[in-house]
Copies of this chain bind each other. A is one copy, B any other.
């Protein structure tokens, strides 16, 4: 448990190294050597701060899931919410990358994590649905929710498409999807 300032900084360096390795190389590239090399520390330092390598990886995974959770601002329009999500996908790219990887690879052996992700997605659906109903109240709650579920899943698909092909027009497709979702 880090107490001193240098320990806290080392911890953060280790987590950042783990995160960028996950994003860059994938889970198979996560060895202790790769983490410590990237963080600029040695094994002893690592184990002073984390009990196991697994603990560091799980911390990064939890951070990524938490980072993808919507904030609690009460006054956002759907457009603001969508743009914030897309901005996150593009600007926090290693965090978003870790999140998408987890979302795809989470298996029955990782049931708690899968549920955590599903819960975050449901929360996002609720928040985006509320925002949509403020914009177009007459479409009804069930229709609004269905539209938002499509929207959010599509945005995740757009994030992946952009990863595969850098020329994918993430903002253009987001705008199109937003127009279709908010159509009266």
Give the Cβ gap from A25 to chain B, nearest Cβ, in Å. Answer: 6
What is the CA–CA distance of A118 and B104 in the complex, to the nearest angstrom? 18
Number of copies: 2
Do B177 and A105 touch (CB < 8 A)?
Answer: no
Question: Mask for A5-34, Cβ within 8 A of B = 1, else 0?
Answer: 000000000000000000111111000000
Question: Mask for A113-136, Cβ within 8 A of B = 1, else 0?
Answer: 010011001100000000000000
Q: Out of B100, B107, B169, which one reaches A104, CB within 8 Å?
A: B100
Chain B residues near A150 (CB, 8 Å)? 154, 158, 173, 176-177
CB of A83 within 8 Å of the partner chain? no
Do B172 and A146 touch (CB < 8 A)?
Answer: yes
Do A107 and B149 touch (CB < 8 A)?
Answer: no
What is the CA–CA distance of A26 and B103 in the complex, to the nearest angstrom? 12
Give the Cβ gap from A37 to chain B, nearest Cβ, in Å. Answer: 16
Give the Cβ gap from A34 to chain B, nearest Cβ, in Å. Answer: 12
- Is the contact region of chain A dominated by helix, strand, or loop, or is it mixed? helix
Do A168 and B153 touch (CB < 8 A)?
Answer: yes
Do B156 and A121 touch (CB < 8 A)?
Answer: no
- 17 CB < 8 A contacts A-B: A24-B108, A26-B27, A26-B107, A27-B105, A103-B160, A103-B163, A118-B165, A146-B169, A149-B161, A149-B173, A150-B176, A153-B154, A153-B158, A153-B160, A157-B158, A157-B160, A180-B180
**A→B interface (CB under 8 Å):** 23-28, 97, 100-101, 103-109, 114, 117-118, 121-122, 146-147, 149-150, 152-158, 160-161, 163-165, 168-169, 172-173, 176-177, 180
3 closest A-B pairs by beta carbon, nearest first, are A157-B157, A154-B154, A153-B161
